Amino acid sequence: MSIGYKSFHESSVKDPKGFWTEQAKLVDWHKPFEQVLDYSKPPFAKWFIGGQTNLCHNAVDRHLKDRAKQTALVAVSTETEQERAYTFEELHTEVNRMAAILQAHGVRKGDRVLIYMPMIAEACFAMLACARIGAIHSVVFGGFASHSLASRIDDAKPKMIITAEAGMRGGKAVPYKPLLDEAITLASSKPEKVLIVNRGLSEYSTVANRDIDYASEREKHLNTKVPVEWVDATHPSYILYTSGTTGKPKGVQRDTGGYAVALASSMRLIFGGNPGETMFTTSDIGWVVGHSYIIYGPLINGMATIMYEGTPLRPDAGIWWSLVEKYKVSVMFSAPTAVRVLKKQDPAFLSKYNLSTLRTLFLAGEPLDEPTASWIHDALKKPVVDNYWQTETGWPILAIQRGVEVMPHKFGSPGVPVYGYNMKLLDEATGAELGPDQKGVVAIEGPLPPGCMQTVWGDDQRFVKTYWETVPGKTVYSTFDWAIKDKDGYFFILGRTDDVINVAGHRLGTREIEESISSHANVAEVAVVGVEDQLKGQVAIGFVIAKDPAKVANMEAEVMKTVDSQLGAVARPARVYLVSALPKTRSGKIVRRALQAVAEGRDPGDISTMEDQSVLAQIKQVIGK
């Protein structure tokens, strides 16, 4: 039954308290909240004041009554050829064991636990175990290397780090433990304990009195029951680092009650998942999509979730669809990049499986181009729903909300504002609200709805300054995305206003990559920009001025190696060009927009503010455009 989008959205922003009181019924409360929203200190929004709940209880314990024997988690690895399903009861047992290990080693409510793990079931146990005892997890994507890890360790100051000795990609073991050891050496803050899940994939060394083995610890706690720690709705559940304009990643801090409510309602009204069904999200737990829609969202909604370790092409390009058939997936969530990869394969890989249970495919994380959307739509013959959001918001900002009203899709648009979000399209220079088809910055008027970031971990000032003070004359949340809005209220996202790039759906900061490249002994100056790429959406391209031009024989490879070892291959530029000068304004600022235009073979536009206009011509020559 259709509720009617317009009035539903209107009621959510005009009467947020009434609206969210209704949605809050979707989760269990140990103690009911007394106040729906405290917005006495804008832009800090506190939801469900006085209420107590727990994410692990809502994701696991709550379902034991009706669905103990139902599958909760399926961990599939096409790398190690292992596949294991856990019922809610079994998941409950494993989470209790993990929680007991954490407690036995001194982890308490409010302590941080850093999780640096591949896509294995134990990573899910670890996240839920933290939530169970009120510890704050900070998952770091397994593709990040030692320097990225070290800066996150120093910011979050975890008491414990949970890891595995290795992941596996494309049939090769990818060691995690040595990178973690290096990161701990680099970091000033040291964890007391490192818990290691040994998968038997690679050799590793251990540090006495610090490193502990998961399997033997688990044996000690096979039957230990750890009661749920009821926490205030505003208690932080996790920190997830994300890139921005500066080189220092921001710790996005999320609450507990608001997040549980936002996810529960999104599972019904946006994703249309029903308890007892299966959701398959192909992201990674290191990203926000993994937090919200591999772990918490589906489980809170009483659905089974699939964790997948491997590529979409091994053993062949039918692997994901075979899982859809086997586990009767009803809701699938992936990224345009993955679809572009599959599109290059024989369509028979898709048509040979029975996909009758699948209702909808959701895609997010980067712009969905028309050829990709049409191809997958024609191949599946199911609705393909683009949705736009950010690590900061934790759940969709723009989407066609099929559980509210099945509105028509428009190619190139993720749709209309999601309920709870009071969206504005504003002029960057004046802050004025824009009319149809005018380009502006996507902004959200406070209070942000439940589930969105509470603050930057340990730095309220940075939260206010970074997100709320960039549009002139207004205190509004900036998404740092350009967009236009058409006369029907559909948004079309046009790219970032800052230095964030999006490589195969992975959000990266060009400043972090520049800092890493600068550490190479022969780099005098560097600029990194995101350049359009057919498969990955964007790739990073580096422009480097060498200190000693006589020593540049292997410079490109060396610079790539530097980035690999510090940040991880995920941040490695696709090309590094040696140049003799960078385009700069008269005040010495690098004009990255012009570099990007030249690298994409576009006209750089107005370059009158540039100090030396011949620089771009030289760069064109170097890159052969």
Q: Which residues bind ligand PRX (CB under 6 A)?
A: 242, 287-289, 364-368, 386-391, 414, 479, 481, 493, 496, 502, 507
The SS3 assignment for 315 reads coil
Shortest distance, position 31 Cβ to ligand PRX, whole Å: 32
Shortest distance, position 505 Cβ to ligand PRX, whole Å: 7
Quick check: bond before 42 cis, omega within 30? Answer: no
The SS3 assignment for 422 reads strand
For 125, list phi and psi in degrees, rounded to 5: -60, -40
Q: Which is nearer to ligand PRX, 77 or 391 (CB)?
A: 391
Shortest distance, position 285 Cβ to ligand PRX, whole Å: 13
Determine the Cα–Cα distance for residues 334 and 372; give it in Å rounded to an integer.
Answer: 12
Shortest distance, position 574 Cβ to ligand PRX, whole Å: 19
Query: What are the residues whose beta carbons fall under 8 Å from the beta carbon of 413, sequence distance 6 or more?
Result: 386, 486, 490, 491, 492
Q: Which is nearer to ligand PRX, 414 or 568 (CB)?
A: 414
Shortest distance, position 335 Cβ to ligand PRX, whole Å: 8
Q: Which is nearer to ligand PRX, 321 or 467 (CB)?
A: 467
Structure tokens at 249: 């990643």
Q: Closest by alpha carbon to 467, among 440, 425, 498? A: 498
Q: Which is nearer to ligand PRX, 332 or 544 (CB)?
A: 332
Question: What sign results for the dihedral spanned by CA atoms 259, 261, 262, 266?
Answer: positive
Q: Which amino acid is at 534?
A: Q
Answer for the pair 418, 396: CB distance below 8 angstroms, yes or no.
Answer: yes
Q: Which is nearer to ligand PRX, 78 or 283 (CB)?
A: 283
Determine the Cα–Cα distance for residues 476 and 469; give it in Å rounded to an integer.
Answer: 7
Q: Which amino acid is at 352?
A: K
Q: Which is nearer to ligand PRX, 386 or 514 (CB)?
A: 386
Shortest distance, position 363 Cβ to ligand PRX, whole Å: 7
Shortest distance, position 398 Cβ to ligand PRX, whole Å: 7
Q: Which is nearer to ligand PRX, 204 or 287 (CB)?
A: 287
DSSP assignment string, 566-622: HT-GGG--SEEEE-S---BBTTS-B-HHHHHHHHTT------TTBS-THHHHHHHHH
Q: Closest by alpha carbon to 444, among 473, 487, 474? A: 474
Shortest distance, position 274 Cβ to ligand PRX, whole Å: 23
Q: Which is nearer to ligand PRX, 451 or 583 (CB)?
A: 451
Determine the Cα–Cα distance for residues 294 and 305; give it in Å rounded to an integer.
Answer: 6
The SS3 assignment for 184 reads helix
Shortest distance, position 135 Cβ to ligand PRX, whole Å: 24
Shortest distance, position 577 Cβ to ligand PRX, whole Å: 25
Q: Which is nearer to ligand PRX, 51 or 396 (CB)?
A: 396
Torsion of CA 445, 446, 450, 452, to 10 degrees: 80
Structure tokens at 77: 């690895």
Helix, strand, coil abundance in the chain, percent, nearest 5: 30, 25, 40
Q: Which is nearer to ligand PRX, 318 or 451 (CB)?
A: 451
Q: What is the crossing angle of helices 614-623 and 592-599, to 10°?
A: 40
Q: Which is nearer to ligand PRX, 507 or 520 (CB)?
A: 507
Structure tokens at 246: 């500066």
Shortest distance, position 273 Cβ to ligand PRX, whole Å: 17
Q: Closest by alpha carbon to 299, among 528, 86, 584? A: 86
